[in-house]
Chain A
Amino acid sequence: MGLVSQSSTTECEFDIEFRGVTKRFDDIVAVDDISLGVERGAFFSFLGPSGCGKTTSLRLIAGFDQPTEGKVFIGGESVVGVPSHKRPVNMVFQQYALFPHMNVNENIGYGLRQRRPKPAKQEVLKRVDETLEMVRLSGYGKRRVWELSGGQQQRIALARALINRPTCLLLDEPLAALDRKLRREMQIELQTLQRDVGITFILVTHDQEEALSMSDNICIMREGKIIQSGSPRKLYDEPVNKYVADFVGKTNFFNGEVVESTDVTVSVKSDSGQVLTGMLIKGATAPANKSKASVAVRPEMISISAADATNNSANIAIQGRVLNRIFLGEHSEYLITTEGFGDVLVLSPKSIESNNQGFAPGDNVSISWKPDAALVLGDT
């Protein structure tokens, strides 16, 4: 949690900060003593499976729930006990929660109309028009919200929140209700929007692809605790454990027992007796001998060659047979069954395969990877 350690030096840089926050619902601990800081203007994501406490964390910021212990800070000020209508944050709800009895204009202007002294009607309407333009829905003001498509409703929900120029925009699985193609478009749109308005965005999602593609920083949660936070690149390249590696991107795990370790590498003996060596993540301490560990290799780091081809001696090579091949356009996904290491997933780019037709199910192949492509990870 490198983010927290910065808090002593650059305190006011944080728009949102959690200090030792715990939230209990009766006997259930939804959020368990978490501390984190979100930098001003950042795109931050809470990522995790359902029930990991990510939505509760968001609701603690919005003020729909109050922490049992600890403090939440918004813009450097503690908001303990401050009700949601007095907090300078706005939320985009999962099902949008647009007011069905109001048209688009009335929905978007709702936040402005709550201001006291009440702004002039003309002023509100002007701002609404500007915001509609921002989400590319000019001219939709008089429509009823239920007449709009899912993507349009999504943008109205965004506009309704952004018009208030909040310190921080909270997004609760905002794209979950959209179909795949639209989701992709909205991801790009959200990112562009965030850069344009310069407001801190906090996203809650269970979709790792969504979190990876949009965020500056991601916080991976499990059972109310933060497992790891950092940039998408860092989480992908240097996961602290198997859970993170599994959650962020696809990974092959070769499980076994630690037999030998140095400062930078650890050797793991698999159940079938073969030994694989992986790199230790920077700063991590090597697991003890005989403890359980996994060697993790990303599918795109593995290359396939025909079984009889000679391998570069520096690489680790395993013999196997192609079980299945899925052609995915720019690359192919192979499932290869191996002796002693189970099934291995391999992503092979088309550019490499262009000289031949790739491999077909049943072909005997040899898979290999560079020594530094393998990481050694503990189970927790």
Chain B
Amino acid sequence: MRIYAIAVFLFLYVPIGIIVLFSFNAGRHASELRGLSIQWYGKALSNPFVGDAFTTSLIIAFSVAILSSLMGTTAALALQRLKGPVRVLFDGLIYISVMIPGIVIGIATLVALVTVFDFLNPLLAAGWPEGGKPPKLHMGYLSVIAAHTLFTMSIVIILVRARIAGMDRALIEASMDLYATPWRTFYQVTLPQIYPAILAGFLLSFTFSFDDFIISFFVAGANTTLPIYIFSSIRRGITPEVNAIGSMVLAVSLCLLMTAQFFLRDRARR
């Protein structure tokens, strides 16, 4: 059994290790290692296309993280008050939205948005005041953000709800009993109790959005996110530069994941 376990781990991590190793390749071919250097990191960082894609990814990931942690938290708080079949229904829908493959979300969002845009654009053009140029709805930042948030919001809901469920209900009652209004109870007791989950949800949403290729590929329109840039550049062959970009994405993601894990860990508190 131990050998199988080792084999599985090797299969998982050796390719990743190789990418990181080859990103330090001094030579110009991805297949042979000729000494170590960080020149490809320099090349990658000075490449304007990489810079643009990186900025795009950052803007999208930040927006997604903020939106999904806000909406996910409020949804989790509201869901906890629901009872009976409605709650079961919502619970089911949330888990389904986490389990739906990215490609399905991608296609579904694409089809839905295209349909809506096709319907709205002529109406906008017709209803727009004379002389002005009517806006044309199209795929872009907003469509990617919407599609990502659809998925990441469910993650936040699940995390925050787990935290709320683990929280002593008597704390809320104690606060109300001690003259705190519902709103003050929320930010003095509930929020401090659940913020680790919200923060973890924020970071996971950010990581997911930052790393996502499939959904973005469908709905990004003309925008190029970092994963899309990597995908398009490896069609021209795997260069050490791609390895360097990949390694940087990996480092950022790992840092965020570990931070999220840190917040989710129960630090001897209730």
Contacts and interface: CB of A to CB of B under 8 A. Distances in A.
B176 A64 contact: yes
Contacts of B179: 85-86, 111, 114-115, 164
Interface string A331-369: 000000000000000000000000000000000000000
Contacts, number: 69
A97 B192 contact: no
- Which of A64, A83, A89, A97 is the most central at the interface, judged by chain B CB atoms within 10 Å of its CB? A97
B270 interface: yes
A64 B178 contact: no
**B interface SS class:** helix
Nearest to B268: A146
Contacts of B181: 85, 114
A90 B177 CA distance: 6
Interface size bracket, A side: 20 to 34
Interface residues of B, number: 22
A119 to B, nearest CB: 12
Contact of B177 (A85, A98, A100, A115): A85
Contacts of B173: 62, 64, 84, 91, 93, 97
A91 B174 contact: yes
A83 B176 contact: yes
Contact of A95 (B170, B178, B268): B170
A101 B269 contact: yes
A93 B270 CA distance: 16
A325 B182 CA distance: 58
Interface string B163-188: 00000101101111111111011001
A97 B174 contact: yes
Contacts of B168: 95, 97
Contacts of A91: 173-174, 177
A111 B184 CA distance: 12
B189 interface: yes
Given A97-B170, A146-B269, A160 B192 contact: no
B268 A99 contact: no
A115 B179 CA distance: 7
Interface in A131-175: 146, 160-161, 164
Interface in B183-203: 184-185, 188-189, 192-193
Interface of B: 168, 170-171, 173-182, 184-185, 188-189, 192-193, 268-270
Closest 7 CB pairs of A and B: A97-B170, A111-B178, A97-B174, A114-B179, A101-B192, A84-B176, A100-B270
